[in-house]
Amino acid sequence: MPQSPEGLLRPYLEDLVPFFYVESHAWTAIGLSGAAIFGSRFIIQWLRSEKEKKLVVPALFWHLSFWGSVINLIYALHIDKLPIILGSFFLPVLYGRNLVLLKKSRGKTQT
């Protein structure tokens, strides 16, 4: 199978994780699943808002945001192109923080 040309991280990581830099249908599936999970959050938010007849951002929105961004980051690291990596790098941190805040706010309303 053809391998992608040397990128930003490949020279440093290829010996540790050689499968990361081999092109395959599995990597395409990973990339598509990350995009599908991340994109589905808007459908969930839209359907919930339509159901309640007001703007609603359900907790599932943040879970889909987090996991979709994690998978997208993994795929970005596989692609090994700096603009894609930088565009994906901080999103799991931001969405993870929102999940922490969501958990804290739920804990306060239940006590």
CA distances from 5 to 22, 23, 32, 73, 82 (A): 10, 11, 22, 19, 13
> Treating both helix axes as pointing N-terminal to C-terminal, what angle do 59-79 and 91-110 enclose, rounded to 10 degrees?
160
What's the confidence (pLDDT) of residue 81? Answer: 92
Residue 111 has pLDDT above 60, yes or no: no
pLDDT band at 107 (very low <50, low <70, confident <90, very high): confident
Residue 104 has pLDDT above 60, yes or no: yes
- Per residue in 20-73, pLDDT tens? 999 999 999 999 999 999 999 999 999 999 999 999 999 999 999 999 999 999
Other beta carbons within 10 Å of 53: 7
- At position 49, the amino acid (one-letter code) is S
Residue 1 has pLDDT above 70, yes or no: no
- At position 20, the amino acid (one-letter code) is F
DSSP letter assigned to residue 5? P
Q: What is the pTM of this model?
A: 0.86
- Per residue in 69-89, pLDDT tens? 999 999 999 999 999 999 999
Of the candidates 69, 77, 74, the one whose C-alpha atom is nearest the C-alpha of residue 37 is 69
Phi–psi pair at 22, nearest 5 degrees: -105, 125
